[in-house]
Structure 1
Amino acid sequence: MAVPSWTIGELTVHRVDEALLPPATGRWLLPAASPEVVARHGWLQPDFAGGDGVLRLATHSFAVTAGGLRILVDTGVGNGKQRANPAWHDLRTDYLDRLAAAGFAPESVDLVVLTHLHADHVGWNTRSVDGEWVPTFPHARYLTSRVEREFWAGYAMDGPRRQMFRDSVLPVEAAGQLDLVDVPAGGVEVAPGVRLEPTPGHTPGHVAVRLDSGGRTALITGDSVHHPIQVSSPDIGSCVDIDPGLAERTRRGLLASLAGTGTLVLGTHFPAPTAGHVVADGEGLRFAAVHG
């Protein structure tokens, strides 16, 4: 079973695939990315968009060993979860087999980093055992931003979001495995070479994950950037951004800080080849893919 990976100094980052998302996802998630807009960015084809102007997106995790810790960043949608979004409802994927193929059997994972608490990033936090949702990674600490958890604690959730918390967040809390992290403006290191950086807007406590080793750097985007088209058109926002204005300012600042630095950008929803660099393109920027 092929598991794509990239080398960052002494670190190896694995992409653990869950699913490709259906074509309708792009038009729902990034409504301003019309086929006409997509057509202006020829570099998106064939990997990131089809000739019909439809964006391609995926859901996956990233797994890395750092400081002797086996670390998983985000946990996808999960199997057997009851979801309002048809693309996420009652999935049956081989995600755990792919995770094991990368060398990260659930029992071996030490740390699970959650960039934010949306349904497509927390689903494999738990799995069903004898009709109960229990932590998938029994020996792991799960980390998320304190701002993120406290925001949702005071938010008037609709039914689907309450369901997501019941099956994918609350069981981890009940098991005493969820740690809330204070993430200052300059970020915070949670393992050697692994740093959480605040990227608010999509959600208030959203974080990106920076990896540093041997003079090389990678950045896992979470949902601060959903698709490579946003590198060229950072004004294109997500329909589920909590604060669209802040999300755009965060995205613009993040992309400007990455441009021309050689930082390997790993998009949490970018389809294969997933990784690449932010490079100059005339007066703007674009995403230059790097195959694993």
Structure 2
Amino acid sequence: MNLSDVYQIGDLRISKITEQVFSALSVAQLYPDATPHLLEATSSREQMRQDTPVEMSIHSWLVETPQHRLLIDTASGNFKDRPFSSIFHQLQSPWLGNLERAGVRPEDIDFVLHTHLHVDHVGWNTVWDGEKWVPTFANAMHVCSQAELDFYGTPAAAPRLMLFEDSIKPVRDAGQLATINNGGEEYLPGIKFHPTPGHSPGHMSISIESGDGLVVFCGDVMHSPLQVALPQWNSVFCAEQVAARVSRRWLLEYAEVNCATVFTSHFTKCSVGHITKANGQYAWAFI
């Protein structure tokens, strides 16, 4: 990693821990509502068409506060069987080395805060010790919403149950998993979980106050800047269409009104930016 991946906001030092960048889906594949007319009207500078590949990043955010070292999500993990997608199957990524290059060892992490429990957000929860999957962060408490955990007890979770078995259950069995109520709450002083369901049942956005500044980690409320200009667009991955749109509009308003710095899960470039509003239209600006 390099200095451009590190952000100092108030007394927070926030580092991007990258796993991989890929362009597997076109605009039309990612956003079913992406008509040529709307694309022409909203993205002329980018010259995006329906068949334009959408570049996306998979990464985590390391947050160092005066009191704690936190991770926001843990990417996809290495050597895990993911037969449903070659993007995540049996990876051999440099994520763990990138974390250590940021000056932090796995045992230094105090908390892992999960926006949700999808494949590309929980993978590094565990590593293979030669016999079984064990927690990567031996001293960390993992935190997620109760609804995210409950989902893995439903029939709908059957196609992804291997995620629970290799990346969530070992952490829970080690006594390192705590849940918060689905209405959101302040988990640590100045660190709040905000319910933003739709992409998944118990998806949360996470805000952290730092002096006069506010940062927000939006998880998968948005997958690319197109959804800032077009918040009515859901990605193909949104489970609950109406709730996803409501959550996205809430996030945009919350970030704009509070002048928050937004840390995204899948935007490329720096993955960090600000949201502004003019004439009823939201806009994204990378920092």
User: Above 0.5 in TM-score?
Assistant: yes
Matched, 1:197 2:210: no
Deviation of residue 41 (structure 1)?
3.4
Deviations 1:88-115 (A, max 9, x none): 1111111011111112211111100111
What does 1:140-159 correspond to in 2, within 5 Å? 140-159=140-159
Matching residue of 1:32 = 33
CA distance in 1, matches of 2:39, 2:191: 34
CA drift of 1:213 comes to 0.7
**Which amino acid counterpart does residue 14 of structure 1 have in structure 2?**
S
Shift of 1:44: 6.8
- The answer to whether the 8 Å contact 1:108/1:139 transfers is yes
Deviation digits for residues 211-261 of structure 1 (CA, Å, limit 9, x no counterpart): 111110111000112211101101111222221111111111221222254
**Normalised by the size of structure 1, how large is the TM-score?**
0.90
Kindly provide the amino acid, as one letter, of the partner of residue 162 in structure 1: L
Superposition pairs for residues 59-138 of structure 1, below 5 Å? Answer: 59-83=58-82, 84-138=84-138
1:174-185 aligned at under 5 Å gives the runs 174-184=173-183
Distance 1:50 1:239, change over 3 A: closer
Q: Tell me the matched-pair count.
A: 285
CA drift of 1:202 comes to 1.2
AA matched with 1:122: V
Distance 1:107 1:147, change over 3 A: same
Q: Does 1:231 align with 2:228?
A: yes
Indicate whether 1:240 and 2:248 are aligned: no
- Corresponding residue of 1:221: 218
Partner of 1:287: 284
What is the Cα deviation at residue 43 of structure 1? 7.2
TM-score (norm 2): 0.91
1:10-29 correspondence to structure 2 within 5 Å:
10-24=11-25, 27-29=28-30
Q: What's the Cα RMSD here?
A: 2.3
Amino acid aligned to 2:73: D
Given that residues 35 and 53 in structure 1 are in contact (C-alpha distance below 8 angstroms), is that contact kept between their aligned partners in structure 2?
no
Identity of paired residues, percent? 33
Instruction: Please state how far the C-alpha of 1:280 moved relative to its aligned partner.
Output: 2.1
Distance 1:56 1:50 in 2: 14
